[in-house]
Amino acid sequence: MDSQDLHDTVADHVNFVPLRDNGWQGLPDLPTAGELNPPWSSGDISQTVMGVLGRNDITRAYGSKDHYLETHYRLNREEGVAFLRSGVREFKEQPWMGDTETTMVYTKVAVKGYLMSALGPVCRLQFSTERAGKRIQWSVSSRLTPGTVVAISTATDSFRSLCSTAVVMGRNIEDLAKSPPTIDIKWAETEQMVFDPTEELVMIEARSGFYEAVRHTLVGLQHVARSNSPLLKYLVEGSMQDNSPQFIKNNGRMDLTSILHHIPDHGDQRQEILNKYSNFDVRGGMPNEIRKYTNLDGSQFRAVHRLLTKELAICQGPPGTGKTYTSVQALQCMVNNLTAGMRKNPEDVIVVAAETNHAVDQILTHLIKAGVSVVRLGSRTRDEDIKGFSLFNLRRNVKSVQSRDYNNVNAARQRIIRDIELAVAEIFSKELLDPSVLHEYGIITKDQFDSVSGESWGWIPAPGRPNGIMAEWLDNAARDVQIHIKQSVFDVDEPLDERHDGVDTAEWELDVDDPTNDSSPDSFRLQGRFVEIKRKWGGENPESLAGNTPMLLRHLAKNDLWDIPEKWRGPIYEYWHKKLLDIRSDALLRLFANYTRICNNLKISGWKRDVECIKTKGIHVIGCTTTGLSKYRGLLAALEPKTLLVEEAAQSREAHIAAALLPSLQQLILVGDHQQLVPHCDVPGLADGFHNLTVSMFERLVEYLHLPYTILNQQRRMIPEIRSVLNPFYPGLGDHPVVMDKTLRPDVPGMPVNLYLFNHDWVESIDLESFSKLNTEEAMMVVRFAIYLLQNQVRPEQITILTFYRGQVKKIRKLLRQYMLPLFGPEVHRGVRLSTVDSYQGEENDIILLSLVRSNFRKNHAVAGFVGDMNRSVVSISRAKRGFYIFGNIDNLASATETSRFMWGNVQRVFEGLGRYSPAASSLPLRCQNHGNITYAANAEDLQTRHGGCFEKCTGNFQPCGHQCERLCHPMSHDKLICQHACERKLQCGHSCRNICGDDCHCEQNCAQFKRLKSLPTSSDQANSVSRFQVANSAEDTAVNRWTNWQPSSDRVLERPAPSMTQTVETNTGFHDTFRPVRIGQDGQRLTGRPIIVVQQQARSQVQVLDKEQQQQNGISSNESGSTSSSTTQSATRLQAPSSLPQQQAYLSGEHDDSSNHGLSDAFFQKVTIRVKRDRVPNEWEVSSEDDEEDGDQYTQLRSHNEDVEDQDNDDCESDLITF
């Protein structure tokens, strides 16, 4: 593609204009006023809409390409519009309504100005949330998510005739938290722009129907209607041809060595194999001989051949069969052939897409590990490793020749911004309009202008009132016309909602991959110059005079404005201002339209720059979501990819993939499983058997049109017992030998069986905030069982708790925090994964605990909800590798809907056949690891009474206290448990400890002496023992002035008890460990001592405080050091420094008994300065404590009595400073 073709291709997408008056191809990208506010009565809306939509028959071919595209266009557009249209109708009928379950209302909406961003002019609105009736938690709320379409009308019209459409662009939490909150929106049409800041508006938002998820897809379908694709014969006609793509027909020779994983090392044989398969013609199939040298199983091998050689390549991968692995093998082979020059254009790229960001990141991660060069399109990947491969970072690291063109366009954009600022300043001012402006635009006559243009009569305004001749003329009729919003204060927080559930809204938060966006990828705020539109003063306009146009016109005809009665001056001034705004609005709209045009040119230049960057860096794979395929369609079209691979294709809507059929595409690869999650749909009526919006392209082609495909048939995830649960749904699924290896998949510790169905009749309930289902007793059982597994040494990251409802997720999370966190601490608590089933497709774990929730027979009828959905249920039962435990009312689910009966009835029969389910007495079998005893738990209380073992009594002892353990049998070692015996320690204050042995000591009398002593580091086991404190580990700590995690490995160099056995003391800086220089965090974690600054020193020293008797014996006093004066405390302590400690470490140790405090204050342990000569070890130190008169703080200095160290002026003697 030459430069002109590149420009034309990109410009065709950026400046795309629908075909006017041509049905669906003529509709704009955003909903029209007619769609959101139709002139129909509420009763016939649904019939009219459904009549236009028609039927989507998935069982047969479409009549034509246009029929196919229009069907999916209208279905997707309706799904994005339906809820907002319903909200507008509801508000129009009840303008006083508050927020409902489906609609959110924002009142007192007003324009604050326009942000001149590189994406176009963005209107900033202030608004009130008074109709919510609750306090909005903006940091966790999904209100006004970027990409949300809103409907706007004036407060006086309230959608009776006026309706404008806008899309939310920027969402900054700080702006939303202000009073009033603000949001950035972009009007659907330039003509809809509102400029008057005194115009009160009302705004409607729907809780469901995320329009941005379909917006770009709709435009993409309109593009496809104007082009041709060799792939449409399969999608429209249902062609059974199994053709190869054109590039394979042209040259079928490929390098297959990337799928040869273990070639013999014998020189000649190895080279012979490499020569044979480095240039192999794949058009005739692939010989079985290759299987001897590959890790691919037979079905994967056949699937890779299909993916490499077929125009439409479909691969179904049941759970655990390695769909992603198969895709990666095929992609790696394709990329190798690009770089090896097998294709004519080495700059070819392959596009890889998936429905969710997580799935895209997952396959890109595998490709990166395989050495493939990739770039990630899309705004907010959560994978830190993938962020480095984003287009934003690629663009920043590559200098492009297109940058000059981009900068020139950007300069033109800045010039128009200045013109807009001048135009706005002329109309809107903090003061009243100048009569000369009114005369210039012909709003008042020359006589009228002359009547107010003479000298002022010396009128002096009151404080806070407007100034000027117009203020003098208006006098008391001048009023503050700003819209003031006083936010209502609510005591109740708005509950977290579940809107957009199933839609990956992160794709739309802020378009960091828009070529015009140069802000940080972590920023939520749009960048640009803000043009404020502010009008403070206007004229009083009483309602009693409103509508009296004849009288208004009569006064307007007077030549002398002073002859106009005072009560009419306010209305007349407002009339003038409106007329000026009407006159200047056309000019403003032209400026904004021109600005939009330049921003589009900026985007064109940016995408051309991105194309050059991608080619310069030699990128071969581009990853994005399936919605991103249309969002970045212009960029992708310019790159001319020939192959598109869609991972988890059965979860993507047909329209998303159809809209991505670029003219350059010769091959479409669909990898997925239509028996797992299906496309999401917000509108129930569109998911039925008439419209079939939840039937994917993958499912339609495989299940209904029976096009050729390959199915993977050997799973490598589940042990055979767990896999057998899938037999009714995947009858041909086999096991790879790896799943039978007990060293890789050992039995679940503490359990006699690796899978079990725990049946119960505990009744479900409803979360009153989110109206989601939950089951409290079931949630408690699951949490207690997870705790039991942890007690049996199962690692937290090996456990995943799955459930179908967010209400149950919320309940389980609360119980985990309540019961697991205190027992095991935050690290273990965070390690256990909790997720909904919908969010867990493509994931796996060693042990899965599945909570079914539903248990409620209504009028003798069982109710399953979407637990009865077969696709979700298949996902839920296929995630476990070696342990799978179901908790639920299986009788309810196995007798509910027909689908639920088939699904859960089969599951029930498999468990029963395996002896892993007892319908008579529901209890969970447990096995003691210590004694081998089998016990049973019928409820959460049964699990709570155990400690991970059986009912025999433990015979072990705690160390170092020696107390005997009084717990029941437990597999956990005693050093991880807390001794519950009464503490027998005698404290330094002379009183006894009142706490249990394993807790921190506390004086039973809570005496003043204990309070003083506890601020000093003291020993935990006897009053006169020595406590040692590590000052610094190494010079690597240099200049680190912050807290860092304490490393237990430091205990190896000192003799001190384990952290769990040492008491803590409370000081003015928090809680401290008595045996370590560490603080205790709120979560119980040890943190390093005080902030330290360390300069590297080679001294090996330990300083020890000597008591006063030793000072006298050695003849050392404070006077000898010369360090004391009249302003200092007359006390000194001599220190000795043995030299037997390791390099790079310094220690302080001291005896801390009540009889001898050595004159050291609490500040001794807060600020100590040690000066150490680098090439010598000091023999002794002096410690003196003195009061600093300047700041009142106490500090301690340690000075050496070694003469060499004292010589601080010697150039050869460098000292190091250690401060803590």
The span from the CA of 37 to the CA of 153, in Å, is 11
- Cis preceding linkage at 960, omega within 30: yes
Residue, of 546 and 850, whose pLDDT is higher:
850
Q: What is the DSSP letter of 687?
A: S
User: What amino acid occupies position 964?
Assistant: Q
pLDDT at position 1114 is 41
Domain positions in the chain are 31-209, 243-399+621-714, 741-946, 979-1009
Region 393-399: mean pLDDT is: 79
pLDDT at position 712 is 98
Range among 404-413, 665-674, 1125-1134 with highest mean pLDDT value: 665-674
Range among 5-9, 1129-1133, 1151-1155, 1181-1185 with highest mean pLDDT value: 5-9
pLDDT band at 1171 (very low <50, low <70, confident <90, very high): very low
Stretch among 206-210, 644-648, 831-835 having the lowest mean pLDDT: 206-210
* % of the chain beyond a pLDDT of 70: 75
Q: What is the DSSP letter of 29?
A: S
Query: Which two tokens mark 795?
Result: 């690692």
- Cis preceding linkage at 180, omega within 30: yes
- DSSP-derived 3-state class of residue 801: strand
1153, pLDDT greater than 80: no
The span from the CA of 317 to the CA of 863, in Å, is 31
Residue 697 near residue 659, CB atoms below 8 Å: no
pLDDT at position 158 is 94
pTM for the full model? 0.78
Q: What's the gap between Cα 756 and its chain centre? A: 34
CATH 3.60.21.10 correct for 741-946: no
Residue 161 near residue 444, CB atoms below 8 Å: no
pLDDT band at 1092 (very low <50, low <70, confident <90, very high): very low
User: What amino acid occupies position 956?
Assistant: G
pLDDT at position 569 is 87
Is the CA virtual torsion 979, 980, 981, 982 positive or negative? positive
The per-residue pLDDT for range 759-813, each reduced to its tens digit, is: 999 999 988 777 889 999 999 999 999 999 999 999 999 999 999 999 999 999 9
Stretch among 74-83, 814-823, 912-921, 1170-1179 having the lowest mean pLDDT: 1170-1179
1217, pLDDT greater than 60: no
The span from the CA of 166 to the CA of 106, in Å, is 14
Region 567-578: mean pLDDT is: 86
Q: Quick one: which of 1114, 146, 323, 208 has its CA closest to 709?
A: 323
pLDDT at position 1207 is 35
The span from the CA of 144 to the CA of 212, in Å, is 12
The span from the CA of 97 to the CA of 158, in Å, is 12
Residue, of 12 and 1192, whose pLDDT is higher:
12
Residue 490 near residue 133, CB atoms below 8 Å: yes
Region 107-123: mean pLDDT is: 94
pLDDT at position 808 is 96
The per-residue pLDDT for range 301-353, each reduced to its tens digit, is: 999 999 999 999 999 999 999 999 999 999 999 999 886 555 556 678 999 99
pLDDT at position 461 is 58
- DSSP-derived 3-state class of residue 212: helix
Q: What's the half-sphere exposure (Cβ side, CA atoms, 13 Å) at 1156?
A: 15
1105, pLDDT greater than 80: no
Residue 131 near residue 107, CB atoms below 8 Å: yes
pLDDT at position 1131 is 32
Average pLDDT, the chain: 79
- DSSP-derived 3-state class of residue 1079: strand
Q: What's the half-sphere exposure (Cβ side, CA atoms, 13 Å) at 743?
A: 1
The span from the CA of 85 to the CA of 150, in Å, is 10
The span from the CA of 611 to the CA of 14, in Å, is 15
The span from the CA of 592 to the CA of 327, in Å, is 47
CATH 2.40.30.270 correct for 31-209: yes
pLDDT at position 795 is 95
Residue 880 near residue 723, CB atoms below 8 Å: no
Contacts of 796 (CB under 8 A, 6+ apart): 790, 824, 827, 828, 829, 830, 831, 832
The per-residue pLDDT for range 348-385, each reduced to its tens digit, is: 899 999 999 999 999 999 999 999 999 999 866 778 88
The per-residue pLDDT for range 474-523, each reduced to its tens digit, is: 887 787 777 666 666 555 566 655 444 444 444 444 454 565 554 444 44
Residue, of 511 and 576, whose pLDDT is higher:
576
In 74-172, where do the E strands start and end?
Answer: 103-117, 120-128, 149-154, 164-170
Q: Do domains 243-399+621-714 and 741-946 have the same CATH topology?
A: yes
The span from the CA of 1067 to the CA of 1084, in Å, is 16
Residue 618 near residue 373, CB atoms below 8 Å: yes
pLDDT at position 209 is 86
Residue 256 near residue 305, CB atoms below 8 Å: no
Which of 3.40.190.10, 3.30.413.10, 3.40.50.300, 3.90.1150.10 is the CATH number of 243-399+621-714?
3.40.50.300
